[in-house]
Structures are given as structure tokens and as C-alpha cells.
Structure 1
């Protein structure tokens, strides 16, 4: 290798560690950039010295084809949760009863994305997301773009470490400001932003968004590391960024004191946290305590109570959804809640407003449900000055002014005008959403913009957008590459299976699961459209309300015309089920239970559906088969009591292999 290239790489790795991890740069930005440019020039002259972990590879620019699946060598567990002093006290008592007096390490619970890093002979080789804990996604190239993650470390044995990728608050504000300028949907919070960034196919996007990471766990045994605090010291010694805000505590008083201190500091931190993690310090005692199927018995996460703030409710506005459902929303004086600005919250329906006695002009208590969705907790009537009045729910649609209908037994109001502009707009947003046709980059703001410019008036117009390519490119804020990416995504969506299309059509009372059940049972669109009421209610998990909705939807001439238009555009009208093979699972209702070792639960579910089964979540007299793994519990017992056929995982895999070979 060219000696100067090696010197520059070592220098830039060191300077990067000082800047990103220690926050103590020893050279100016200008000097760093000068050395980086010199290295880039030399690497162009000497392509034979290419190194994927060179500092020059962190500038981004690769377009990835996708993310491969990787099975974790050791399962990545989730943590059990505690919500108050008593929950944590019970945890400490259980630990003491099992392993005797012990000390604990308390760490801030970073609100980010769990990640596993792999090193071989001191060189970074792979990064894998948690996924379902057993199988994750390979996001190696994107992780290279994060400056604080070392590409080479002193420790030369095989190493796997775990931690959390997050987006700092400052980066989050910058990213959302940029998205607002480009008329793109804003990220709800830094965690969502980090998760979305890690799954970008353009590494340059990841580089620009300035993610970071904290590392806290060794997933392999390391000589001399006997405790969690040892693990943190080992990680820091090898150049990994650890969170310095940790403490070793010996009893419940010290644990609770640490929690109270950091609850107060939470808002001032440059990153989001949503709790405190309490771990048994001794690794030997961790091993002695062991794991449940999903969580370690030696750790617990204390979750902060949802932050509550007081602000003024200045107005109540109505929005109309794709089914015609009219939802009232609180307009709030802008207030910061759980790290982000909030100026609106959903009020659900007329009864919700009346029950909580919410009035325009009230001071109200607001929080984020699950630290994500803003909600009005209660009004503060003691702070009224007499200007507030009882809210009267409107009788007409705020968009098309059609008379609203409230059905017997329901709390919601509906606009029943199928041509209501708001319903049309929301139906297109739903159709293009991730859970439906997954048309990347066609979000609500773009749909609204195209609608305003008379390019999108109905769902089928999505598939004629390519005819307006020149017009789209001329619109402000759009580039040729972004428009082509959108048009490619629209074309790709044509191959989505029937269940995604059914869900995308927005049939009332037909959610994601019901759409899947219908697609698997009827196999193609024509058979479903021709189904009678009796045939529909005979399908497991389809009740009379859902059946009536399907009948009503397909008897409408406009919906029949929509299906024919979508067919003419080449959209797929059948399911993923293999029709030409009869299997022992065909048309059977199957339940999965216990911990599977040969494949993930989702993989097993996909195989069963592929071979004609309807996978259910509960055991009943209608269940035909229960497939069980390790530590199967009440579902297996109930199946045995009811005389339902059961099958262990090994037999299931052997049976499936017969069909896979064919």
C-alpha cells in the first residue's frame, strides 16, 4: 500500500475520533478538509489501495439496491418495562432473591434504533438492525456514513457490539426544515427520522442527516470484562462513543435518585431519551438470571411518564377522511412537548369533546400518547374567564357542505358524499401509503399539490402521472431525478399483491388483516367482487359488518369502473398464494405459538399463507392446526383441550420442504 495513503487514513481516523467521539478536535476544519482532499486524490491515483473503511468513503454517494436479511448470532432482546417506583422495587427484589445482593448499572435509554456492529481483526465489517430480534437487515453501507463509528479498532479478535443509532435534536430540526421547504412530509420525532434515514437507499442522504450512536453492550465474551461497567470501559477504550451519563447504584434509593435527576435533565439533553435502563452489573449474575422468550431477566427499562404541558386551545377544526369520517381537531398555541413543537391534537369525536368538557378558548393539558401522537388530556375549567362557550358540532361537511350523518351506535359523524373533494384527496393518500401500495415519495403534501394543479383527481390518475412528466419537472421544488424516482415507484406498485390493493382501496371496515384474509380466500379480484354475503361471512375473521361493506363497495358503479381502469393499467389482481399445488395447509386455519428456532414467526406465517393457510392469532373450535415451538403456553394447552391437531416446528419444516423442493 502507498505509505502516504496509510498515514493519511490513520490521521483522519484519529481526527474523526477526536471530533465525533471526544468532542475535542485537535486540528481545524480547514486542515481536516485539506488532508481529506489529499487522500481522495491519492486514492484516485492508486485504485489498487481501495478500502471500504477509508475516511473518504464516508462522504456518501452510493445507491443501494436494498437490504439483505441477516440472522443474529445471538438474539437481540427487547427490555421489559417499568412505569413507577413499585415496578422497579419489585425488579430489584426479584434479582436479590435470585442472585443475592448486587449492584446495578443505570444508563439513559436513548430513543433511537437498536443496532449491532461486527468487527473482524479490528476492521468494521457489518451493521445489522434489530429487526424482530432474530433476523435483522444489513445496513452496513449506511452505518459507514456515521462519523462517530470507528472503522478500525485496537481489539483484534472477532467482536460484536450493540447500541442505539439516534438523530440528535439539532439534526432533527435541520432535516425537518429542509423537508418543509421541499413540501415533503415532516418526521414526527427524532426516532422516526433515524429509522427512516437508516433505510435510505442513497448513502448520501444518510451522510447529510448527521446521525450518531451510543454503544453499551458486548455480544461476545471478552477476556477481562466481567461486568456491564467493564463493558462500557472496554468500548470507550476501543474508540466507541459511550454515553457518559451512567452510574453504578447499590440500592433502590440510589436508583430512584438517578431517575429523578435525569428526569429533570431530559429536556436539556442534545438527544431524546424516553427512560432509564437498569441492568445487573455482574455478567456472571446476568447469565445466572437468564432470559424469558422476549426479555432479559437481568434488566428493566423505566419509562418516563408522558410529559404534560399546558397551552391554550384556540379553535376546533374538522377534517374529512377517505371513508367520509369527520374528525374534530384542536388548534393549539404552539408548545413544545417531548422534544417537538405541537400546535394541533386530535379530539376524536363529538362525545369525546363533551365528556372532557373541552371549549374553544380553554387552557388545556396536552401530552403525546406513546411520546408520538399529541392528545388533549383535559381542560382546566378553573382558568376560564367567561369567554369560552360549549362547542356545538356542525351539521354539514366543512368541505362540500353535505349534511353529516351519525349512524346508530357510532360516535363518529360521516360525510356521505362520495365526490367530496376531501374524501377524494384522502383516498389517494391512503392508496399510496406504505401499508397499501407503498408508492415511495408520493406523500400527502405532494398529492395535495398535484391535486391543486389538476394532475391528480382520482386514484386511477396516479397511473397516468407519467403522461405529465414534463409538467411535473417544471414545477417548483422538483428535479428530474426525483420525478423519475416517483414514476418508478408508481410503476413498481403495479406488482403489489391483491391484499395490498384491497387495503389501498379503502373499503370501510376492511383493515390490513381483513384485506389479507379476503385475498387469501378468494385468490383474485373477480372472485371477490362476485362473492355473496353468505360466502363472505363464511370466511374466518370476516363478520357481518365487514361483509356488508364489501358488498356495498363493489356494487357501486364508480368502484367497478375504478377496478376496470386499474386492471387496464396492469395492476396485479391476485394474491401471493400458490394456486396450482394442494398442500396439507390449504384452506386450513392455523395458529402459531411458542418460540420458533428455524425461522422467524413472520417467515413461518408467510410460508403458511403461501401454501393456502389462513393464519389466526387465537385458538378456537374453528382452528384446524396449531404449530408450536419452544416454551409454547396457553394456546397449545387450549388446542389439546379442544382436540385440535398440533404439529411441532421440526415436522412443520419437513412438511414445507416437500413443497419448496417442488
Structure 2
């Protein structure tokens, strides 16, 4: 990097910073920013006379924006030095050990939210201030008082600054963006920006509606006398603050690495976004001795996770047709490595998403990969457009069978019941585990059967013979016989499995069980009012059932005749017990399969749901409980272990 490149890099970083901190509208990824920032740091270390006063290395956060009163922090809020791998951590430890060899470390998740400083005096919250430039921030006390995880009073009379991160749970973030889409408003790029934007509302009612969560990570001015940071933080949590998950102490590089790898592995199971782990010297006296550089504390470092956001280019938009005929667009992107996985596709959800984000072919975009979920485009970099971009036109015909598509606005649908894609996906679903669980009917086998002309509908599966299968390429006798045995074993399945296998739109496993228990095979003759009267079934689902029966009654009767599914046995009403009539959710690893525990609870008269809500009565958790546990805590749902559940059942509790 030469002087001119350095000046241009500083301008770029300041532009990125302005969009990130002030506008809550990032125009690049953390990875791109961090890379350029470290190039600037390296140049400045070798060319101290060239350092510009406006260099981002000379500041902590960014300017306070108009609209809020400015307020000073009692003590400065520092930013942290970043390291990105084990070598970087080892170098930081080497520097730290030179200052003090007799130290241990405190590790905690680095939450990806908005930093906040709370000032309490005489036990009352008097000020809440954003980070700002580290010395002066925005006074947003009224907004912060709406955050349920911020105590308005604490049992500590001395003046104290409690620092932390304000986050939005991932599930809540999706709800906020869905609501903004419905109102025609711009969506937030990520939960971090949603948290920052929610804090900076001029109307406190908007902040209150966003379900923000405050997670403390340290203190500023204080008169506490703890010798260890870990003890000091336990005291802070005892004042009524939420304790972050997975904070721990460790003694050396190996233990820090072990904790880091666990956090990195589990990052997607957290309710909130994490972008790394913070490592701090645990001994407070040593922290004081080590002090600060111009920008960072010497006693702490942010050990960042590999980037999950990357910039890439949209090369093509392809279409997929599902079993219900819904046509889903998928973006083909320039291959890019995200945390060791080469990403070439990104979900676009629906055609409204393309229009709303104005996604064009050849656009530069930011994609986000989270866990095993297909990556998604979270932002289009419109400022990077050069004129080569091409607008995407909504298709008029099915990409598989060429039938005219029904345009429902958000969705496009192929209405051709004999469309190859619809038939193949319907058969795959019919044979899947939650349905009839037919071994040997994977994607490639179903495609081969369809393309051979032997199977054009699920009914045709039961006309297959050994002779017919042996005529197909790749079908040996053992493989063919196993498939025929699996088809035979599907007969006599529980009625709810049969109902679920039909693939009625909006009707999944839970609704299939409800309808089966209530009506059995008589569901073919029930009215809309009778269906709606069932617990958990609304008008849309009822209409879907009635329409499916109207169109497919003959096929349903044929399948019933072939499969002879077992009519549901009327269960005896469960005796009184702590779970009767209650809604429970299971999470984590149990001593036996969750399916068995689910069956046991249902036999006790409980309803077992797959997600936590305000209607949940119990969360029953095992080892490695994830985001469901966090959400249950936030909703004040009673959380019990598997052992506690069994004690309740046996009447010990």
C-alpha cells in the first residue's frame, strides 16, 4: 500500500463506517471492512508521519447522529483488538504474558448487536447511552427503559456503569422484517442493524415493540472490590441482569481454543447472532497494570469467528417446482467460500423478494450462510452497479412442463397435476419418514421410475412387480425386492401417517394427527365448521383440506383401499397429572429418544409442540439445550430437566 492507496482506504473505511453506525445500512461485509482496516493499521505502523487525523484507527465508534441529546460516558468505552485465528491469539497471549505471567482468562460470547452503557445512581437507572465515539454517545434512556431485561432499579447504591450489548433474537428479527415488508418499508440487513435501529427510535413505543434483549459484558466506573472479573460479573448478574450463555474461565491457550471451538460449533443454536468470543484477563489488578493503547485495552481481545457473510455475484436465477406446484426462485451465485463451505446457490424465497430487493442478474450481493440452511441474499450492493445488470422478468410458464403459471402475487403456481416435478416431489414426500416411511424411494429412484413410465402417480407404486423393476437399468434383484418389501410394509400404517402422506397444503404432522384422531377416514365427509372446531386448525387449513378432497377424492379412496391404514383407536382420557392439557416443548439430548418421550407425554394428555411460544407451559430440556431454552427463559416459560419431568409424572414433585 502506498500513500495514495492509504488515503483512498481511509475514505472507504469512513464511508463504510458512516453507513454502518449512522445510517444502520451496511454497504459491505465485516470481512471486507476488517481486511481493509488491518491493511491501514499495517501501513500506519510503518509510516507514522502519514497518519491522517480522520483515520478510523484514531476513533472507537462513530459520530453521534442528529436527533438525540449527546451525553458523556463516565469512563471511556473502548473497542477491542481483533484476532482471526489461533496464530493471532497466540501472538496476543505472548504480548500479554510479557506484561504479567501470573494470569488466567475469562471467556464469553461476543454478541453481534449494539453496545450500550447503563449508569445507575442510588440504585436507579439514570442514563442509558450508546457507544458513540467511545467518549460521547446518544442519550436514549427512555427507549432503554422499555427493554425488559434492563432493571430500572438494582440493589446497589454506589454509582456504577454497566456495559453490555443489545441484541434481537433471530426469530424476532424475522418477524420484524416480515412486518416491515408488509408495510412496504425497507428491511434490516441483519439483527445487529435491527438492534441499533430499534434503540435509536424517536418513538419509545417502537423500541418497546421490538423485544430487545440486553446482555451485560462489563463495567465502567464502579466501586466494586472484586479481585476477579468472573466474580464481578457474577455480582452484576445477581442484580437482575440476564447471564449470557457459555461464559467461563480458563488458564491457558489450549483451554481458550477448546472453548472457542465449542462456541464456534454451537453458534447457530444460539437465539442471537454471535460473531466471536471475547477473551479477557481475569485478574482485575493485572488489567489495571496493563492499561490501554490509543484505541484498545491491552488485557482483552476479540477472537472472531470465520465470516458467515460474503460478497458475491448473481449469475443466474433458476426455478424449482415443489409438490404443491409452488415455483420457487433460487439464485446461482459466483462460487464463494463461507467458513469452509463453497456456496453456489442462495434462496430467494419468492418473487416478491426479488422485486422488493431489486435483485438483478450480475448484481454484487451480500449473502449470509447460517448452519446447514441454504444461504440467503441479505443485501444488494446497488452502489457497485456498472450498467451490466439485467432485471429479472417473472416467468409466465412452468420451467418443467411449460404449463401457464397462476400468478398469486407472492407465489407463482403450476396447476398441472401431471407436471413431472410435482409428481416426483409428491412421491418423494409420500415415502418420507414423517409419512409412510418407505425405504428405498429416494430422489434418484423416484426419478428413474417416473422417467421409465412405470410410475406416474403414487397409486402406480403399488402396481410395481419384480419383473417390471428388473427391466430398469441399475435395478438388481436384491434392490428391487427390498423396494417391494418396503411398499408392502407401508400397508396398515397409522391413519395420521396416511393423511400426512397425501401432501395437503398447510397440513403437516401435527394437523394430520389432530384430524386423524378426530375424524379418521371420515375426514372425507366433514364440513368446514367441523374442521375449524379442531384445536390448532384455522380457516385457511380447513379450506385447503376441503379443496384437496374435492379434487383428489378418487385417488384418496384408491390409496385407502390399497394401504388399508389403521383407523385411530380412541384413547382413554388420561388421569389427572401435571402435564394433562398442557403444552410442552422438548429440546436437547435426552436419555431416550425424543420421539418416545413425546409419545409418553401425549399419552398423558399433553400437546407436544415443536416451537416455544407464550402458550408453552413447559420446556423440557436435556444436554446441549439450544435456542429454544433461551427463548423459553425470555418468555418466562417453566423450564425443567428430563429428571424433573419424570419426578412430576411419578408424583414426587
Category of TM-score, reference length = shorter chain: 0.3 to 0.5
TM-score normalised over the length of structure 2 = 0.47
